[in-house]
Amino acid sequence: MKKRILIIDDETPIQESLSGILEDEGFDTVCASSAEDGIKLIHEENIDLILLDIWLGDNMDGMTALGKIKDSFPHTPVIMISGHGTIETAVQATRKGAFDFIEKPLSYDKIILAINNGLKFSQLEEENRLLKETTIRKANITGKSPLIAALRDQIEMVAPSDAWVLIRGDHGTGKELVAQAIHQSSSSSKKPMIEVNCAAIPEELIESELFGHEKGSFTGAHSSKRGKFDQANGGILFLDEIGDMSLKTQAKILRILQEQKFERVGGNKTISVNVRVLAATNKNLEEEIEKGNFRADLFWRLNVVPINVPLLKDRIEDIPLLADSLLLSLLDKGLKKKRFTDDAYKVMMQHSWPGNVRELRNFIERLAIMCPEETITASQVSVFLGQTVPRGAAADSNDAMAAYRADDFKEAKKLFEKEFLAKKLAENDNNITKTAELVGIERSHLHKKLKTLELI
Ligand SMILES: Nc1ncnc2c1ncn2[C@@H]1O[C@H](COP(=O)(O)OP(=O)(O)OP(=O)(O)O)[C@@H](O)[C@H]1O
Ligand SMILES: [Mg+2]
């Protein structure tokens, strides 16, 4: 795909000659005559590199624009160009994050070299970020129960094959974690696993999200965009919450999964891909098929290898180990080291954990924050468990109280939202669609919000 370069210069002849030369070199270019217009374009389009003039007439100068660009797009390389550059300005620009500094009159060889270096650098930076992210997110399936041992065996067996997997299990059991574990032991582990949360994307955007779109194909499509299928080519596509996809989208997905070919929205070129699909759902798809909400043919296509993630209450012997490892992971968040008494584990093992490991994780976090002592006792666990709202477990009336105590408006608003939504969710038996209707929020928006507030 062509790299897109934004030229910000108030002199039209310079814009024209630069864009002519860059297009001959195989780049896409867009031009702006002022910093304000340029910054607007960066927000609207996918820009890979920016050429920015320092002197831009009477409006915002290039140096100020550089600061603004770096604030919002720290990873996009910016090359400064200037007619009256001094060493001082060059140093100042580099300090502000410019990748390079080139003086006018422009030597086109120098410009092209600087652009290629800038693009290479940002690509390496991105690879590095990705690598770090995958290391940080290394899937660690904690547990020593026979059920978890069997789950690990299944993952090890299926991961190296190219088989498609349907991961099933209740809320918060660890389906996403299983998908990450499969990815890490697969032959595509060096490539990122591309995730699509089918429940979180509004119906009208799902096609463009999955297949990408061409510039101008609909209002708001200011630039062409690669879809998730494209991005996952040669690797893994993880379709999370597959049971929440509309029948219309299911039909489209099925065709693409079968043919491994598709067209971008507004495009007529057929793109062939080779993707391995992992899908996850907490819905009973057989029941959804009966009700006419899910296509049987799609189910059979996805369900090549089914993996069932067990409920936490069916493997309570894992609770001490999980509680310890979750407590340990809080050290990263700056919380102090704590431990549980043996009786504290016993109390936790008697609870039914309808929200599974996610509920346990939120519960442990709450205990770690609210119990000042280094040792967390059985009675503390009982008290806190007594307060637990089933599912949506992170929220309790403490959130509302905390909202009154918070000084920061944003923090207070967040705590109130959490308390309110947890209640409404519990009243609606955790049905997001019903809750969305009741509180008057669009379903996908509510879903995102619940994820952010860690209520699901
Ligand atoms: N066996 C496990 N060991 C350690 N952590 C786990 C385990 N299972 C789940 N978790 C943690 O519990 C949380 C919820 O897991 P995950 O998001 O994978 O669940 P899910 O099944 O996809 O949930 P949902 O259906 O709500 O999307 C995550 O923080 C995850 O890291
Ligand atoms: Mg999930």
Identity of the amino acid at 370: M
CB 309 within 8 A of CB 167: yes
Mean pLDDT value across residues 30-41: 93
Domain count for the chain: 3
The pLDDT mean for the chain works out to: 86
Residue in the block written with tokens 């974690």: 177
Q: Are residues 302 and 344 in the same domain?
A: no
Please state the three-class secondary structure of 429-440 as a single string: CCCHHHHHHHHC
Residue 4 scores a pLDDT above 90: yes
CB 362 within 8 A of CB 454: yes
Q: How far apart are CA 300 and CA 160, in angstroms?
A: 21
Q: Residue 119 Cα, ligand 1 centroid: separation in angstroms?
A: 37
Identity of the amino acid at 112: I
End position of a domain, from candidates 127, 161, 190: 127
Let me know if residue 33 belongs to a domain.
yes
For ligand 1, atom 9: residue with the closest CA: 174
Q: Are residues 170 and 292 in the same domain?
A: yes
Q: How far apart are CA 397 and CA 198, in angstroms?
A: 31
- Helix, strand, coil percentages, rounded to 5, for the chain: 50, 15, 35
Position 390 scores a pLDDT of 41
Q: How far apart are CA 232 and CA 275, in angstroms?
A: 6
For the segment 111-162, what is each residue's pLDDT rounded down to a tens digit?
999 999 999 999 888 778 766 655 545 578 999 999 999 999 999 999 999 8
Q: Are residues 378 and 448 in the same domain?
A: yes
Q: Are residues 161 and 203 in the same domain?
A: yes
Identity of the amino acid at 92: Q
Residue 388 scores a pLDDT above 60: no
Q: Are residues 157 and 190 in the same domain?
A: yes
Picking from 413, 399, 409, the residue whose alpha carbon sits closest to that of residue 455 is 399
For ligand 1, atom 25: residue with the closest CA: 171
| CATH at 256 | 3.40.50.300
Pocket perturbation via mutation, ligand 1, pick of 144, 168, 173, 311 by most ligand atoms within 8 A of CB: 173
Residue 116 has, within 13 A of its CA and on its CB side, a CA count of 8
Picking from 296, 178, 309, the residue whose alpha carbon sits closest to that of residue 238 is 178
Identity of the amino acid at 38: G
CB 278 within 8 A of CB 238: yes
Query: Does the C-beta of 143 come closer than 6 Å to ligand 1?
Result: yes
Query: Does the C-beta of 358 come closer than 6 Å to ligand 1?
Result: yes
Q: Name the residue range of residue 158's domain.
A: 146-308
Q: Residue 259 Cα, ligand 1 centroid: separation in angstroms?
A: 32
User: What pTM, to 2 d.p., does this model score?
Assistant: 0.62
Query: Does the C-beta of 176 come closer than 6 Å to ligand 1?
Result: yes
For the segment 335-353, what is each residue's pLDDT rounded down to a tens digit?
788 899 999 999 999 999 9
Q: Residue 129 Cα, ligand 1 centroid: separation in angstroms?
A: 23
Q: Are residues 12 and 87 in the same domain?
A: yes
